[in-house]
Structure 1
Amino acid sequence: MTSPLPTPSTSSSLLPVPWSLMRGRAAIVDDRAQVPHARRDTFEADSWSLDVMGLPPSIPRRTLLWPRFPAPLREAFRRAAYLLINAPTPEVMLTRAGTSMVEWPAPNSIRTIVMADWLHFAAWLHERGYTTLRQVDRDALEVYATALNQRGGTWRSRHRCLRSVSRLWAAGPALPHEDQLVMPPWEDEDIKGYLSGEKEGGDAATPVIHPNVMAPLLAWSLAFVTDLAEDIIAAVEHVEKAKQDFPAEAHSEGRAAALAFLVRVLRESGGTLPAVVHNGHARPANVYLAVTHGGFHPNDLSYLLAGDRTHFTLDLDQPQPLPIPVTGRISPSISTSRSPCRSR
């Protein structure tokens, strides 16, 4: 027996105003924004940055790009994404047997659901002439599951795609009539029947890390949290504040300042610049240099260094200190332990 829509608690409270009045309002509400005073994109914007949700500095920026969605279906998926971000996951999805869903998905998960799973589903629907989610019936969803299996990919990724489609159905009570998707057939049947192949092994398939390797990793991880965290946070805050003072890039004064700096620093260092690893390759530490010396934008350095690289060398081991007092101390119990990685 099927149900066209789940029946979670009242959905009207999930919206600050009716959908027709959402224009100009923030795409991410206050309760989900973790970065104070950060700019938030409006509901109707072409892109929604998820950075305001508090992504760590080490995580690449996460953005939802609406122009990539087919125009006839774009607003339906935009509305569903607003609920995905700002409303708790419907209980009907959390109570599924074997589910790994959480009440509030993280930014990385949100981007995967929207820009991978939903975008693929939207493109598939558009190719077949659908202009609303309401037009899609259960037979069409069965065909989509078959198409997913034919496309290939891991069992887990195809399972995630089907569950992402189920999220659209579960959000139905809070969406306009034309956005309400019928219950997918795998929601009242065993989803395994809609997935070809065998489920990949979980943790048991991963080789066990030897205790002699794991022990120093854990010791140093604990040291970073207990002994060094305050210094690390202070350094990050210093860099972020300095970034706010960067002059406009490609400005004549900034470009001239960057050139003068390069001439001086290359002369003093013998042609060596500090470096970082980016996408597996050594790159000049342009952000660090702009932060510590000021007066120019990192992109101005990138522009000047993008040509012939025979006139300088990169040194990944060159220290990159910041003017931050170092108060943390490594505990003597691990100070002689072998570091699990080389510091950069």
Structure 2
Amino acid sequence: MTTAAATDRFRLAVPGPATPVMPDHLITPEHAHFNSRYADRVWSLAPLIANPGESLRSVTWQQFPIHLREEIRLAAWTLINGELRPTFVKQRGIKMRTRLSPALVRETIDTWRHLATWLDQRGIQSLAACDQQVLHDYGLHLRESATSRKAATRPLTALVRLWAFDGLSGFPAGIARPPWDEFGVDDYLPAAGSLGGENAREPLAAETMGPLLVWAVRMVEDLSDDILAAWCEGEHLRRTARSNRSTPAGKAALRSFFEPLLAAGLPLPANEENGAIRLAREYVLARTGASGKQLDAMNKTHDLTGAVARRPGPCPRTRACAPVWSPTTLRSSPSASALRVRTVT
């Protein structure tokens, strides 16, 4: 017997419990070992992620209502493995894509989870029972909770995708077509602001803006040399501390640094981390040339942690580093505004 999946390349067969969640042609090689199986309680989306700076997202199926979980699971697998028909995408313009990025895959499935939770709370335990009237009510619910028209549009679009990918699965649940896809979306969006793109807030008074501008200019013109020199030396200290190895000279320098301070009861170099006073490890390691293991051993022997909590002291800088940027380059750099913001902060 010829199946629908065999005659329609967009229609997918029903996966089995051991079917991989991610198709081979979409997997990033370095994350291939994260590939989950269809029946797993958690699906990792890491195999789709190639950007090393992007977090490795996942989908936890225990968070979905039990009566709707498997229907959403099949639609999610179809979303990941399938693609929308070009005619479907063309009819809906720029708001639709045949495939989504990993971040949007996670956001879309999360939107489906919110719908499933809302349905379950109303005793609706299948997507087949989610007809246009139910979706109309849910659309109004989204409108009431949305902070902007753009914020409301994203989940509405995600639910159009649920209807579309449900129809492309090997065993459609039968969710209805969302009414905003058929009759228009405007009734499901918050009212447009009367000011358009203008800021509706009252402008800051001149008495407030004047001192703010004076200090912003002063930060760049007068104080930036010291700030950037301190940042530069801090970076130098961190690099030096990370590269230190355990040597007899480093151990001797560490003892010479701490023993006079401990004997005289003087303050020890400290910094604050999450509201707690801690020993300034990187500063000490860079000043002495000792390794982290050597500092840990001395801390254990002499209770440096307790001493620094009782007598926290400064970490004087030498200003051995010249500023990376001068006020002149700050003003002329294309990213000057970003640097000014960081300096003020």
Give the TM-score, by structure 1 length. 0.55
The residue type paired with residue 47 of structure 1 is V
**Structure 1 residue 273 displacement after superposition:** 8.6
Match of 1:168 among 138, 157, 162: 162
1:114 is paired with a residue whose SS is helix
- Tell me the number of residue pairs that the alignment of Structure 1 and Structure 2 aligns: 245
TM-superposition CA deviations, 1:268-303 (whole Å, max 9, x none):
9x756999x9xxxxx99x9xx9xx989xxxxxxxxx
Q: Report the secondary structure of 1:193's partner residue.
A: helix
Aligned to 1:33: 27
> Which of residues 32, 54, 69 is equivalent to 1:59?
54
1:160-309, aligned counterparts within 5 Å? 160-177=154-171, 179-198=173-192
Deviation at 1:203, TM superposition (A): 8.2
Give distance in 2, aligned partners of 1:27 and 1:308. 54
Give the superposition deviation at 1:70.
0.3
User: Aligned-pair distance for 1:149?
Assistant: 1.8
1:19 alignment partner, SS class: coil
Identity of aligned residues (%): 23
Q: 2:95 maps to which residue?
A: 100
More helix by share: 2
Distance in 1, Cα, partners of 2:306 & 2:189: 50
Q: Give the one of 44, 64, 67 matched to 1:49.
A: 44
- Report the alpha carbon displacement of residue 188 of structure 1 after superposing the two structures with TM: 1.8
Distance change in 2, residues 1:95/1:20 (3 Å) = closer
Of 69, 73, 77, which residue of structure 2 is paired with 1:78?
A: 73
Consecutive unaligned residues of structure 1, counting only runs of 5 or more, are 1-6, 206-262, 278-282, 295-305, 319-333
Please name the residue that 2:217 is paired with: none
Is 83-92 or 163-172 further displaced after alignment? Answer: 83-92
Q: Which SS does the other structure have where 2:140 is aligned?
A: helix
What SS is found at the alignment partner of 2:95? coil
Structure 1 residues 20, 89: CA separation in 2 closer, same or farther (over 3 Å shift)?
A: closer
TM-score (norm 2): 0.55
Please give the secondary structure, in 2, of the residue aligned with 1:121: helix
Task: String of CA shifts for 1:184-235, please: whole Å, max 9, x gaps.
Answer: 2122212112323127999898xxxxxxxxxxxxxxxxxxxxxxxxxxxxxx
Q: AA paired with 1:120?
A: H
SS in 2 for 1:64: strand
Q: For the aligned residues, what is the CA RMSD? A: 5.0
Contact 1:79 1:175 in 2 (8 A): yes
AA aligned opposite 1:53: L
Picking from 108, 114, 118, the partner of 1:120 is: 114
Whichever residue aligns with residue 18 of structure 2, its letter is G
Give 2:137's match in structure 1, choosing from 134, 143, 148: 143
Matched with 2:105 is 110
Q: Distance in 1 between matches of 2:96 and 2:50?
A: 20
What do the CA deviations read for 1:62-102 (whole angstroms, capped 9, x no partner)?
11121111011111111111122222233354224453222
Distance 1:8 1:204 in 2: 51
User: In structure 2, how many angstroms separate the alpha carbons of the residues matched to 1:190 and 1:65?
Assistant: 33
Distance (whole Å) between structure 1 residues aligned to residue 96 and residue 21 of structure 2 = 22
One-letter code aligned to 1:52:
P
Q: Which amino acid aligns with 1:147?
A: H
State the shift of 1:39 in Å.
2.2
Residue 219 of structure 1: aligned partner: none
- Matches of 1:309 and 1:48, distance apart in 2: 46
